[in-house]
Every structure is written in structure tokens, then in C-alpha cells.
Structure 1
Amino acid sequence: MICSAKRKVLDGLNRRYIYGRVPLLHTIIFLVEMAVAARLAAKFNTYYAERPVLTTMVTNAVLGGVADTVAQLITAFRTRRPPTSGDDFLSIEIPDLDKQKPPLFMAYGFFMAPVQFQWFGFLSRAFPLTKKNPTAPAFKRVAFDQFIFAPFGLACFFTYMTIAEGGGRRALTHKFRDVYLPTLKANFVLWPAVQILNFRVIPIQFQIPFVSTVGIAWTAYLSLTNSAEEV
């Protein structure tokens, strides 16, 4: 009975749009996610000192949820018709946005964080920055990260999302054929510059959160790419 009532409330919110363009439910989710992210940012050093891996996992999950919620808000805004003068502030519409995506992205960010944590630790040990020559090790880290981890990470992302959404081998083959290489090329445009700054300037405990923060835009792009391929 309670679950049914909650479902009705969520469905009702999901069918309401602010000014006919911005989905109310996803706006609420975004605000909640941002409040959690602000709380994590305020206490990050304390949490990281006690439990670095878990803190990284939770941070990745929250930022992944923010990114996909942003992607869905962008999609809704682009596809909704402009409101007419007679539309209400909250207009009721039939089409629903995908309510399963933010949890999927949050789960992916949560479980991928330990792999990232170990990878960044490996890079810092393999290519330590020195006062005499900090630039060369930073470039080596970027090269290893972009040519080894980036292709692996994108493969994990598209595989996870395809399987989690119920796709089989054929769907996965189409995903890699149609969007993997274009996305990897886009990765090479954005991330080398970001990672040079990350490895050269950002302290190691903030490197994954920094990547995840910049990655809000990147993950939103991945979400839009993944959704476009489904269509």
C-alpha cells in the first residue's frame, strides 16, 4: 500500500514540468544530489583520511548521479515544446523520462572507483613527481592514462550500461561499432589537458574527485551518447 502510494507520487512528479520544459522530478533529484555533494565536499578531508576508498566510491557515485541527471534535464529541455501563453507554471504531460538511469550511473561510479583508486596510486608510484623535473613524469602519467586506462574505462562503461539495460551480445556489438570509437576520439580531445593539470597540480587525494567533477560534463555527454544509440 505504501509502495503503491510512493509510486503514484513519483509518477505524478515525473509527469510535471516547470514552465513546460524542465522536469520537476529530475530537478528535485538534482537539488538533492547537489546537497549531498556539498556535504561531501565540506567533509571530504576527514572522510578521506578515515576511509579513502569508500569516500572515493561514494563521491564517484554522487557525481555520476549528478551528471546523468544533468543529461536528462538537457534532453528534456531540448525535446520539450516551448510553453504557450496559456500553459501553467507546472504543466502535466504524458511522456516520462527514464527514472532508472541515475541509479545505474551511480552504481557504475561506485564500483568503478576502487579501480580508479588503484590506477591513480600505480601512476603516482610508477612516475613520481620530482622538484627538478615534475613535467616529464606528469606527461608519462597522462600517456599511460589515455592510451591504457581510457579505452578500458570506456569499454567497461558501455558494457555495463548495455547489460544493465537488458541488452544482449547484439546490442553490445552495435554499441561498440557505432559509438565506442567516436567517444574515444572525443575523450582524446578533452582529457589529456585535464589530466595534465590533474597530475601536475592536484594533490593525489583530490585527483579522483577532480576528475569526477570535471567528468560531470563528460558523463553527461556519455549519457546522451548512450541514449542516442538506444534510440
Structure 2
Amino acid sequence: MLRLWKWYQNCLATHPVKTQVISSGIIWGVGDIAAQAVTNSTAKHYHLQTHDEVKELKINWRRVATTTIFGLGFVGPVGHFWYEGLDRIIRVRLKLQPNSFRFVASKVAADGIIFGPLDLLVFFTYMGFSSGKTSAQVKEDVKRDFLPALILEGGVWPIVQVANFRFVPVRYQLLYVNFFCLLDSCFLSWIEQQEDAPWKQWFKSFLPLKEQEGQGG
């Protein structure tokens, strides 16, 4: 394990962007496999209760590839430059003392306000188009999934990022986040599959009446 970590450090020092891109793709792909396993397990539990036929897990490798590409094409490169740039702006331009309360709080706030919502928006839009949906269908899916995911993740990620920005060196911050993204990609993939879940209908009730009617039609 130590040898693997040293190899990763060497790759990161030599090819930082490429290393971040590849590691992000692998982690998001593994996360999607985990998401499919969780969804299948949930479905099994439901079918056992209703005495319906229980289907065995069959991995959708096309979806795994699609999610992996998201990690490769968005999370890796964008995440790399985001964490490097965010640290430079907060430390150099705002001249805040590293690891101070204002330093960490500023980073957490910027990450939650800018990168978090952008990541969710790109994820749901990309997954929708990748599955062959039309622009109108993708728009409705984003309306359905974005707010619940943003609220639920908003209760977790700030805590994750406080530890990240306080204790983790900048070069390893995306790796740290990616390990949590192993769970996050699982969570987002699960969210994306829960089309008619009752809790989503509850969130939908907060939308303006006109938008509710549009989603219903």
C-alpha cells in the first residue's frame, strides 16, 4: 500500500492533471457500479415484500462507461484547476492566513456556492443526454433531481470540505474529494434512478404550481 501511495505521489508530481483525470475516472466508474448494486439491493428488498420476481444484479456497463467519462472529462480536469485556483485566490488575492477560520470558511463557502451546484447541474444534464433523452426530457429531469440532491448534499459536503481545506495539502484535495465521490457518485446515480420516489414528489410540491403541472404532463 505504501509503495502504491509513493507511486501515486510520483505520478502526481510528474503529471498532475493527467493523474487527477485518470484517478477521477476510475473512482467515479467504481462508484456507479456500487450505485447499481445498491439500487438492485433496494429493488430486491421491495420485491421480496411484494412477492414479485427478484432480478439478479446485472451491471449496465454502458452506464459505468458513461459515468467514468464524466469523471475523466469533468471532475478530474475541472476539479484540479478549481482547487488549485481557489487556494491561490483565497491565499494570495484575499491575503488570508492559511488554515485560519476565515481561510477555511471562505473556501467552503465558495465551493458550496459555485462548484457544488455546477457539478450537480453538469452531472444530471450529461447523464440525461448520454442516455438518449431529448432537451425537454433532460430539463424536466434536472428540475426533478437537482433540488433534492443539492439539499441532501448540502448537509454533508460542507463538513467534508472543512476537513479537506483545513488539513489536506492542495495537491491532494481532489483525491480526498474523489474518495468521498465514490459514495457521492453512488448517491447521485441512485438519485437519478428514483424517478417517482415519494420523497421526490415531496420536494416537487415546493415548486410553483405551473412547473408542477408541466412536469406532470
Normalising by structure 1, what TM-score? 0.73
Query: Are 2:168 and 1:202 aligned?
Result: yes
Equivalent residues of 2:27, 2:178 under 8 A apart: yes
The residue number in structure 2 matching 1:179 is 145
Q: Distance in 2 between matches of 1:221 and 1:158?
A: 12
- 1:98: Cα distance to partner? 2.3
Shifted more, 138-147 versus 98-107: the winner is 98-107
**CA apart distance, 1:56:** 0.2
Query: TM-score, normalised to structure 2's length?
Result: 0.77
Q: Does 1:117 align with 2:83?
A: no
- Given that 1:127 and 1:137 are in contact with CA atoms closer than 8 Å, whether structure 2 keeps it comes out as yes
User: How far 1:77 moved relative to its partner?
Assistant: 2.1
State the alpha-carbon separation in 2 of the partners of residues 69 and 95 from structure 1.
10
Q: Does 1:79 align with 2:43?
A: yes
- 5+ long unaligned stretches in structure 1: 1-36, 83-92
Quick check: 2:86–2:107 contact (8 Å CA) kept in 1? yes
Provide the rounded CA distance (Å) in 1 between the counterparts of 2:6 and 2:41: 31
Runs of 4+ aligned structure 1 residues displaced above 4 Å come to 37-42, 93-97
Query: Secondary structure in 1 aligned to 2:156?
Result: helix
Q: Distance in 2 between matches of 1:39 and 1:102?
A: 28
When residues 118 and 206 of structure 1 are mapped into structure 2, their CA distance, relative to the original with a 3 A threshold, is same
Give the alignment of 1:57-68 within 5 angstroms. 57-68=21-32
* Pairwise CA distance, 1:130: 2.7
Unaligned runs of 5+ in 2: 49-54, 198-217
Query: Alignment partner of 1:130: what SS?
Result: coil
Deviations 1:140-173 (A, max 9, x none): 0110110111111111111110011101112112
What root-mean-square deviation, in Å, do the aligned CA atoms of Structure 1 and Structure 2 show?
A: 2.5
**1:124 shift after superposition:** 0.5
Kept in 2, the 8 Å contact 1:40–1:59? The answer is no
Aligned residue in 1 for 2:63 = 101
1:100 shift after superposition = 1.3
- In structure 2, relative to structure 1, the CA distance for the partners of 1:52 and 1:95 (3 Å cut) is closer
- Offset at 1:215? 1.4
Task: Measure how far apart 1:229 and its partner are.
Answer: 2.6
Aligned length: 185
SS in 2 for 1:127: helix
